[in-house]
Structure 1
Amino acid sequence: MISGKTRLWLMGLLLPLWASASASEPAPAASSAPALIAALGQPAPAHTAFAEARFLQVLDRPLVVSGELSWLGGDRLQRRVDHPQQETSIIADGEVTQQRAGKSPRHFSLKRAPQLQVLLDSFVALLSGDAARLQQAFEIRQGGDAGGAWTLTLVPRDARVAKTVASIRIDGYAKASRCMHMQEADGDLAVDLLGPLAAQMPAAPTREALQALCQGAP
């Protein structure tokens, strides 16, 4: 059986790739979420730096990792962690592979967790800018101005997914997504700083400090 924390790790692998869409073009003037999602779509391959702080209720300090995320097209995604230890994880052809230095690779099939396949399909829709397909899996709420600072909040429609993830929020400015917040159903929180902002991850991050970074002007 796939553990709840493994499910959350996989979702953390999937979403930040879409949230790091290129800022090379202006965002649409329209304020609708579908228009913004369509503008954020990007071709594969796509790569972005990330730094993640995970706030767990059982720990006094957040866990912080950093590295690079890659979407290689279709359902093929890769998460490479460089710090604090090296680890590479790949989703491809319905299988997940995790490799740590000095250890044998771990493999498991997404068929063991059908809700993850639903999420994978949905996030591929995000990466390609397919808002209609995404709305089948999430209730989508937009705040702010698509031409300036904005937020997108995704609430799972699937009750099985909602038992693990309460909501996902992306903060951005124009066509640049800056942060992703994954609020877990048990109260834990993961915050990813994306692209250039990843280099600004504090040595001892707090929720308040990360919120200020995410909502600051680029």
Structure 2
Amino acid sequence: MRIEQQPAFILHARPYRETSLLLEAFTRDHGRVGLVARGVRRERSRMPRGVLQPLQPLLLGWIARGELGTLTGAEAASTPFALSGEALLAAIYINELVLRLSGRNDIHADAFAAYALCLARLADNADMAWTLRRFERDLLADLGYALALTHTVGGTPIEADVDYAYDPDAGAREWRVGSIQPRVAGGALLALDLDESPTADQLAQLRRLVRAVVRHLVGGELNAWALSARPSGSAPA
């Protein structure tokens, strides 16, 4: 099957054989796809290697054959998102999140739109922690792992002035002394559900909650978490 002019972003690229690249691309209509960009590491490649960079909105073409497709075309759809410092670390984090949580060839058009919006907000210097929490919420929902933000495990409505223990495998339970799950205020859960900016303390609680959920889903840690924990990296991922 031949695909043409597909909106996409490169999530990851690595050398493949002597002259090629192996790409993981996030596309609007085909989800995450693996592509071989043959010969692009040659000096006189017909396809400019420089366009195959993360954070660059692209239009890609490829021939789909089995697990890996063959890239046939790539062009910039618009200017790259100019990100540096903490915003760049945040972009590295969301790339890894998509890579680790999504399956190849599973279509997630809403997640693709949320990804592009997240990059645009980071480039516009929007509140970084809130931008990431909104993206995580939307990505998890579209992938089938929606956060339980309005009702407890038992089905009772979340109350803003009550604290909860959030079980990554089940949802929220009223907090009890000795609970080992992340503690989060009901107001934080409701704010995320309503898309209303939480307080700084609530954002920190939601960060811990999402980390626990992601850790549960991928079975371990993300590389981006270690990167942001270094003295020079403080992105709220």
TM-score by length of 2: 0.24
Structure with a larger share of its residues in helix: 2
Structure with a larger share of its residues in strand: 1
Of the two structures, which has the highest relative contact order with CA contacts closer than 8 Å and spacing of 6 or more?
1
